[in-house]
Amino acid sequence: MTNTLHRYGSAESFNNDIIVFAIACRGKNDEGALPKLKKFLEMAVPFDPVNLGDARNGGSLRPCYEMNPTQHWNRDVTPDFRKVIDGMTHITTAAAVFDDKQKAIEFMKKVREADLGLSINISTAVEGADEICEAAGFHRHSVGYSLGFEGKTEKLPNTQVLTLMTMCGHGMVASSLAKKMIDWVKEGRRSPEEAATYMQRFCSCGVFNPARAAQVLDEARHSSK
């Protein structure tokens, strides 16, 4: 089970959104798991992930409490994968986010070869996860589904906002921030890539996909609604 199951969108929209987790089970395989989790993240880097995540400390772009608002717009937006790996000090969930299925497949082959003794979870469309597993040389153990939203769904934000805000499974990307970024992109005040990095910083576990977010923002820019 993972909170990334609640990412909003059609199955096709997850073709460029694959999250691979490594998780240790308390009392089962957590002894000595920290260096294994770090190795998992290290192995992901050569395959060009769009984000790495440490569930305790965040992803490759993070908020900074020392900066004032005028500095925010000119800050470096280069993902800092080294900071994520070196900053992991406790056993937690490690994640690598990919926007390319083939790269995810090659990474999974490496993970299978390393045999770290950790639980590995792939979060994407079910068909995509099956394809990655088969290509990497193994069968999936189980599957988890999200049943979507129920109740007064008319009160939910629009689909573009939902797609952006649900890319943080802990709900740290506010719907108002997502809407503001859509408006700014439509007004030409920020590029889709710039707006995506602003939202990415607020995802506390590092599973936000800036490539998918930029695509959604670009589509919103050309939408009449």
pLDDT digits (tens, 9 = 90+) for 26-84: 888 889 999 999 999 999 999 999 999 999 999 999 887 777 666 666 777 889 999 99
pLDDT at residue number 170: 87
119 beta partners: 23
Convert the pLDDT of each residue in 167-203 to its tens digit: 998 889 999 999 999 999 999 999 999 999 999 999 9
Does 221 score more than 90 pLDDT? no
pLDDT at residue number 215: 96
Domain that holds residue 116: 3-221
Q: How confident is the model at residue 224 (pLDDT cuts 50, 70, 90)?
A: low
Q: How far apart are CA 19 and CA 7, in angstroms?
A: 11
Mean pLDDT of 88-101: 95
Higher per-residue confidence, 131 vs 75 = 131
pLDDT at residue number 71: 64
What is the percent of the chain with per-residue pLDDT over 70, rounded to a whole number? 96
Place of tokens 């997850």: 14
pLDDT at residue number 62: 87
Q: What angle do CA 88, 117, 46 make, to 5 degrees?
A: 55
**Count: domains in the chain:** 1
Q: How far apart are CA 44 and CA 139, in angstroms?
A: 21
